[in-house]
Amino acid sequence: MNSCFFRAYQEVLLTFAAMIVVDDILVSDDLKEVFFACNLQACHGDCCVEGDAGAPLEESEISVLEDYIEEIKPYMEPEGIAVIEKSGVFDYDMEGDYATPLVNDSACAFLFQEGEIRYCAIEKAWEEKKTPFQKPISCHLYPIRLSQVGNTTAINYHQWSICAPALIYGKKQGEPLYVYLKTPLIRKFGKEWYDKLVVSYNK
C-alpha cells in the first residue's frame, strides 16, 4: 500500500464506517451488513422526485445521452422533454458536478410514470432495445454512492428514509447490498474485482 493511498485510507476511516480495501478501492462494511431490495410497490419510485439535485452523471455518460436522446424521448413525460430541449441532457449539482436535469427543481427529467409508480425513461428505452445505455451508473448502484478520496474511490451506503421499504424487503429476500447490486458493481468495477470483494466478505 503506497503512502498516498494509506493517507487517503486513514482519512476515509475517520469519516465513514468500517471499510475493507479491494484493489485500492475502499468498500464500506455496510455492503455486507445492510440488506436491501427495491420495493416499487411500496416506495413508488420516490427517489426520482425527492432530493435536492438530479442523479450524478459521469462525463462519458453525457455524450451517450446526447447521442440517444431521440430514442429516449418517447418514454419521457412532456415536462421532462421540455426541460431537455431547453437546457440539454445534464445540469450541475450544488458542488458543481454533472447531474441529470430536474423538472421544477424536483423530479428527474428522465422519469415517466405509470399509475402511482415512477420509472426511468432511459432504462425503459434500454429494455426496448432502443439504446445500449441502461441508465446512469449512479442510479444503477443506488443506494451506494461513490466518492473520491485522494487518488482512490470509496464505496459507501447512502441511507435515505424513503428507502425504508427496501430494507424490510431486503431482509425478507436475504440479500445484502453487495449481492443485490452485483450487476452494477460488475458494470462499474469488473467481474474480477467483484469476485475479490465476495471473497473478502466471506473470509
Residue 8 pLDDT: 42
CB 156 within 8 A of CB 138: no
Residues 6+ apart with CB under 8 A from 136: 55, 56, 57, 58, 61, 100, 122
Confidence of residue 17 (pLDDT cuts 50, 70, 90): low
Question: Model's pTM, two decimal places?
Answer: 0.85
Tens-digit pLDDT profile for residues 77-101? 999 999 999 999 999 988 888 999 9
Q: For residue 43, what is the enclosing H or E element?
A: helix 40-43
Tell how far CA 131 is from the center of its chain: 19
So where are the chain's domains? 3-36+143-201, 52-133
Other residues' Cβ atoms within 10 Å of the Cβ of residue 145:
14
Tens-digit pLDDT profile for residues 28-60? 999 999 999 998 888 888 888 876 778 899 999
Q: In the Cβ-directed half-sphere of 119, how many Cα atoms lie within 13 Å?
A: 15
Q: For residue 146, what is the enclosing H or E element?
A: strand 144-149
